[in-house]
Amino acid sequence: MLLVELEGLSTVGAPFGHHDLGYQPTVIAGESGAGAQAAGAQLRARRITPDEALADYLATSGLSSITDRMARSGAVDVVATAAPGIRDLVTLGKIRQLEEAQDADLIVVDAPAAGHAITFLTSAEGLARTTPSGPIRQQADQVLDMLGDASRCQVVLVTVPEESPVTELIETAYALEDRVGVALGPVVMNGVWPTVPGLADTGHGPLADAARYRLARVAAQRREIDRLRTELPLPLFSLPYLFSTEIDSAGIGVLADSLAGVEGMDR
């Protein structure tokens, strides 16, 4: 298993006690060593930034001799400013290369949030339109092949049972379908408050207020979950709210157990 994070703060390693992931993969859970990796008993994580992906790409394509000069002259800047999708594309290109090399049984990518996810995933299509030839075009085509092939790649949309995030998820799902054509996997509803058996709206005082708060919260979440089910015909399943301010490895375990065996999550 390989976990990939892309931008922003390094967070995917945090529950495992790894706060600074680098471009090179780190084993964050399971046994280390090649044997463990082969047995699939290992979770590795890495962080892919556009700059490192581009340098990597140039080096592996035998173009490294031009990298330094181009960087010094600012040509990369000029081209990347005119066609900013290049930064997203080289990142996707690196992921595609890992996928092709069968670097892991499953590669899980923590992609950018809603609006930016669309920008990120449409970069290949945009560049394929404006770049008739050359290695970038080739990259774009290869990435498009991967994104369009449901046996190689799917998008799992994750949200929380609140009004705006649910609306955003629905819009993102339709936009991904229309503009990227990528297969959509099941939707994950995260942070669903468990009910407390026997909890009732009764009496006065802090405990009763807390009960009302809990019941109202659960009911509001229920409404959003129902709305999502009505408006988006995708399988949906829920993860429990953990009553914690930070997810640690025990929390990740609880969530992983909830995910285990869900149809469509095993690809």
Partner 1 sequence: MTAEAPITVCLGSGGVGKTTLAAAWAIARAQRGERVVVLAIDPARRLATTLGLDDTDAHADGGNESERENDQSEPGEDPQPTPALGTAALGNDPQLVPGPWPGELWAAMLDPRNTLETLLRRHADPDQFERLVANPLFATVTNSLSGTNEYMAAEKLHELHGDPRFDHVVVDTPPSRHAIDFLDSPERLMRFVDNRLYRTVLAPKGLLRPLTNAAQLVFGRAARLVGAELVNDVIRLFRDLGTLDDGFRQRAGETAELLAGPACRYALITSPRAEPMRESRWIAERLAERSRPLDVVIVNRLTPFGRAETVDPLEDADRARGADPAVAAALRANWEELTALAERENRLVSDIMRDLPAGIEPILLSERTEPLGALADLIELAAAISEPAEA
Residues 72-131 that bind partner 1 (CB under 8 A): 73-79, 81-88, 113-116, 118-120, 122-123, 126-127, 129-131
Stretches 24-32, 67-75, 96-104, 141-149: which one binds partner 1 (CB under 8 A)? 67-75
Is the separation of the CB atoms in 159 and 131 below 8 Å?
no
Question: At its nearest, how many Å lie between partner 1 and the CB of residue 116?
Answer: 7
Interface with partner 1 in residues 137-176 (CB under 8 A): 137, 160, 162-165, 167-168, 170-171, 174
Residue 151 tokens, joined: 């046996």
Using DSSP's 3-state secondary structure scheme, residue 39 falls into: coil
Is the separation of the CB atoms in 118 and 172 below 8 Å?
yes
Is the separation of the CB atoms in 221 and 192 below 8 Å?
yes
Percent of the chain that is helix, strand, coil (3-state, to 5): 50, 15, 35
Q: Mask of contacts with partner 1, 215-244, x by CB under 8 A?
A: -xx--x----------------------xx
CB closer to partner 1 out of 87 and 152: 87
Interface with partner 1 in residues 21-40 (CB under 8 A): none
- For position 249 contacting partner 1 by CB under 8 A, the verdict is no
- For position 64 contacting partner 1 by CB under 8 A, the verdict is no
Spatial CB neighbours of 54, under 8 Å, sequence gap ≥ 6: 76, 86, 87, 90
- For position 245 contacting partner 1 by CB under 8 A, the verdict is yes
CB half-sphere exposure, 131, CA atoms < 13 A: 23
